[in-house]
Amino acid sequence: MKWSLRRGTRAAQKTPENVDENNRYMRRAFFRMAASIEMHDINQAGFLVNTDQTQVVYGMGPKLTWSQTGAKQVDVLGSEEKRAFTLVVGVSASGDALPFQAIFAGKTTESQPSKKARSRTEADEHGFKFESGGKTYWSTQESMRKYVIDILVPYFERQRCLHNRLTQKCMWLIDCWSVHRSQEFRDWMRENYPWIIIMYVPAGCTGL
């Protein structure tokens, strides 16, 4: 049948078509960060945190399948699997990994891992937070605010105490997810945590 073992062709994320223009945006973002770091004396690595979200699929489909030799597009069963949760991961410039936040679709804690689940106690001890996102497992206004309150701010406050700089401004680097850049979220941050400077990675350029 002229078949051979092939790898799926669907990419997880494509580089934007206007990548040259985005390179200019990235340079501007870099200069904004550098200027803010200098202006606010952010000279300790623990004062800068980068946070991103990733989709975790419960049952990963195979990446290889049998298809006709020479085929340019190869469909793989399971590649569109959507039963998943979102893991919110933060790391500081000092290399500290902040506690994870995991978001599950569902309205109650029944959608979250059981208290009796393997390693759940260890996860709780490390400060991991489990959230129910309602109809979606993606980050929402509510879950991002909880991330800031329960994970980001306590980390920054520990760093400010560690370096005896209790009024130090800190920097938070995030991507252009609609919740992150919404006026509602930015107003909430400005009202409650004006000492946290938000910087954005240009859309579609996290990998670059």
Cα-to-chain-centroid distance, residue 71: 35
pLDDT tens-place string over residues 41-65: 999 999 999 999 988 887 655 565 5
**Per-residue pLDDT for 17 more than 80?**
no
Sketch the domain layout of the chain as residue ranges. Answer: 32-58+81-201
Chain centroid to CA 68: how far?
38
Q: Which two tokens stand for residue 92?
A: 């500081």
Q: How confident is the model at residue 2 (pLDDT cuts 50, 70, 90)?
A: low
Q: How many Å apart are CA 36 and CA 30, to the nearest integer?
A: 10
User: What single-letter DSSP state applies at residue 73?
Assistant: -
CATH code at 32-58+81-201: 3.30.420
Contacts 24+ apart (CB under 8 A), 26-30: 26/201, 26/202, 26/205, 26/208, 29/199, 29/200, 29/201, 29/202
66 SS3 class: strand
d(CA 63, CA 65): 7
- Residue 42 tokens read as 């952010």
Q: Is the pTM of this model over 0.75?
A: yes
If you ran DSSP here, which 8-state letter would residue 108 be given? Answer: S
Dump pLDDT digits (tens) for 80-139.
556 788 999 999 999 999 999 999 988 888 888 888 888 899 999 999 999 988 888 888
Whole-number Å distance between alpha carbons of 44 and 180? 25
